[in-house]
Each structure stands twice: as structure tokens, then as C-alpha cells.
Structure 1
Amino acid sequence: MKTNNKIALVTGGSRGLGKDMAFSLAKKGIGVILTYNSKKEEALAVADEIEQAGQKAAALQLDTADVKSFDAFFRQVKTVLQDTFETDRFDFLINNAGIGVHASFAETTEEQFDLLLNVHFKGVFFLTQKALPLIADGGRIINLSTGLARFSNPGYAAYASMKGAIETLTKYQAKELGSRGIAVNIVAPGAIETDFGGGVVRDNPDINKYIAATTALGRVGRPDDIGSVVAFLCTDEAKWINAQRIEVSGGVNL
């Protein structure tokens, strides 16, 4: 496996989309620090597989909803950068960690709302802010949104609203960080076959068939449909893409 001395921090990298992002980045020669909330063994297995393929990797625990933990987390990141990668900066921040809550607007509880807010907006806002001193000039930030911010499916009012906020934040980040040469973009996945939201897209044949029928390319997404795009945005070939929302959905609900 080639190396190019660049390093990516991927939140939620133990499974699903984040796991594929980590592998896709490593294939591009990029070192990976991935985070996990509770799936320690899975995260360590991902890091080990990347290292077995010849790329440097590390896994750190992080609850992206717990803003007060971020200072301690980045102290750990500094240590890993020095000990594993022999540097004091990383290049790419991928804000991938997330959870799914399915509830109608009328039945969404304050607890559900606050959890989604903390994970998908407040946590991303302040984690990125705290990361700025460690992100190299000329680096990249990639935020994750959803197709549900463009079209509406009942049951995702709170979740999609947080992602709409992230889409607006991305433009402000791009504007304000441009002086450092840092580009900031949104990747908005469509429906993907993972365990997200209880694995509903992957495991429910009726839902899978329905989504495939509303998608121009005739199938639901796979994790590698997303990871490869994230990895591309961390290459020099994508250097002039900035403040863009890139939906990777196969053309759903056109």
C-alpha cells in the first residue's frame, strides 16, 4: 500500500460508512485515526486491517455528543500523531459519526431531539472548532448530510433538520477557513445498506425494493459508494471543490 504522509481523522469509523471511508482513505495512501463510541473491538479490528495492508492507523474512543470531552480527546490525538505518525498535524477531518432516530414530527420527544442535536450538529460544530489548531493548512473538512435534507420522508423531521443546519454551517466554514487553504464540503448519502437506523434499508426487503424503484440507477447504496467519494475529496484531484453539497444517492427521488 502506498503512503503519502497525509492523515485523516474519521469519526464513527468502526462500522458502516465510516469503516468503508477508513479503508478507502488508506487505499489512497492516507493514514487514518478513527474513532468509536462503544465498538472498541470493531474499531481496533479496522485499524489492524489497515495496518496489515501497510498503512498507519489508530483508534480512539470518542462520544461526539459530549462536547466537554473534546479537549481530552484532542490531547489523545496529539499523542497519537506524535507516537504513531511522527507529526503534530493531521490533514482531513471527516465528521461521519451519527445515529438514526425514526419518529414522526408529532411524536418526537425532547430527549430524541436533544440527542440528535448533540450528535449531528452541536457535536460536529464544536469538534471541528476544537480540531482547527491540529488541521494542517491546505487540509480538508468533510461533513456528512443526507438525501433527507433535499426531500422529505416522514419520520425524519428532527434528524434531517440537523443535517440542514450542517449544510449551512459547511458554507460558513468554507468561507471562514479559506484563508488557510482549507476546503469544506458536504457528502450527502442516499439510502445505504448498513446497520444505521437498525439496518432498515439493508434488512427490510420491502423498503429496499421501494427505494431501489425510486432511484435512477435502480438500487440502494452500498458503503463503498460513499467511502470512495470521501477519499476522492481528500486527494489533489479534488483541490478546487469547495463549499459544495455532493449527494451520493444514485439519483433518488428525482
Structure 2
Amino acid sequence: MTTGTALAVLTGLLLSGCGSSGSPSPESPTTPAGIPVPAQPDPRGLLAARVAVAKDQRYVAAYTLTAQGRAPRSILVSIASDRTWRVDIQGGALGGTADVAIVGRPDGQFQCPINPSGGGCVRVAAAGKKLPAAIDPRVQYVFVSWLDVLLDRQIPLSVATAEPLAGTSAPCFAVEPGVTAIAPPIDPGTFCYNDNGILTAAKLPIGQLMLTGEVVAAQATVSLPGPVGAGAPLGTAPPAPAPPNASASSH
């Protein structure tokens, strides 16, 4: 079964009623003439159908992240066949001056510098956990942990259909976490998925993501781009200014 067929079947199940095909269920509203009013599609169910397909996909895809006041940045997402993953983020650390990869493996999550100076990887969190806020670029959640949030009906979310974001024709959905959540499990935003379960665009507090180029087949596994060391990870805040030149101050 193709992913498009699977999506159509899952969407049909989510939208099917409980009554027989010949008569409306007792709860169905009717017009004054007694004609049943067609049930309105459930936006959360429609989004869940696409996210269920997305969760089964394994791929490599390139995105552009655009935020107000900043130059567009490149994002490369790799979801491997064994469910390991890697998200390369241009300008993801040191106030946009350092490129990093966030890598998820069974033994944890790692931050790895990928700028020309290179350097070793640092384990920054257990597998499946959030990164400390000071080193968290956040964009990686869109492709991994937030899929489970969007699928879980027990998590209070408000979901509504939204106008397609510029640059995509895929269906889009506006998502807001429940107002009672002390620590929201997902950032508010608009998410757009095509029939193959690929995120084509997303508008988030960190900026707007847009798919660029072709989606290609995944590798078998994701490997770390460098050795694991005991150094400190790079923070997202700009680096501290250099201290004044001691020799200049002595004159």
C-alpha cells in the first residue's frame, strides 16, 4: 500500500460515522426539511492522519529557516531507517555564528559542531528528552518528538485548518497547546504536510521552515560527525565579547 493510499484509508476511518450508511446517527443535526447536515471534518483527525504517515517516513530533506531580522539558514534533516536522526542547523549556536548538528541515537542526543573548525561531539541529553534551554535550537523537535504530540489525543491541543503558507500547496493546520499546560509539549504554529507525510512548511516562533529541493531516500543509520568528548556544548546565546587587550590598556 502506498503512503498516499494509507493516508486516504486512515482519513476515511477518522471521518466515518458510527451510524449506518443509509441513515444519520442520532446526534447528526438536520435542516428544517429533515435533510441531514454533512458532518464537518475534524481538523485534529485530518492532521493526525498525515502525521501518522510522517512518523513512518525515512528520508533526507533540506529546508530553509527564515526569521525576522536574520538571513535565511539551511536545515538538513536525516531520519534513518533505524530511527536514528540528525538535524544540521546552519547558525544553530553562538548567536548564529556556529553551525551544529543535533543527533539522536539510542545512547542519547549529541551536539556536534559542523563548521570548518570541526570539533568533537558532546552528549547533551538522554534519548527522547528535551535539551537544556541554553543550548536548544528547537528546530529538531518538528521532525521527531512533536510528531508523537500531534498524534496523542490525551494532550490538550487546539487544531484548526489554516490557509496554505506561501510556497506550499499542502494542507496546513494551526496548532495551539492547551492554555492549562505549565510546560507546553509543543510550540504554537502552523504545520503543512503533503500526502506522503513530508513536512513542506511550518511557521513557528523560531521562524518559518520551507522545504527546498527533492526528498531523497534515507541511509541505514545516522553516525556522529565526530568523536564524543567531555567538552562543554555550544550555547545558543552570542559568544561573550573578547576582553580588552591587556597590552593596550597598560599604556
After TM superposition, is the score higher than 0.5? Answer: no
More helix by share: 1
TM-score bracket for the superposition, by shorter chain length = under 0.3
Normalising by structure 1, what TM-score?
0.28
Considering Cα pairs closer than 8 Å and 6+ residues apart, tell me whether 1 or 2 has the greater RCO: 2
More strand by share: 2
Q: Bigger radius of gyration, 1 or 2?
A: 2
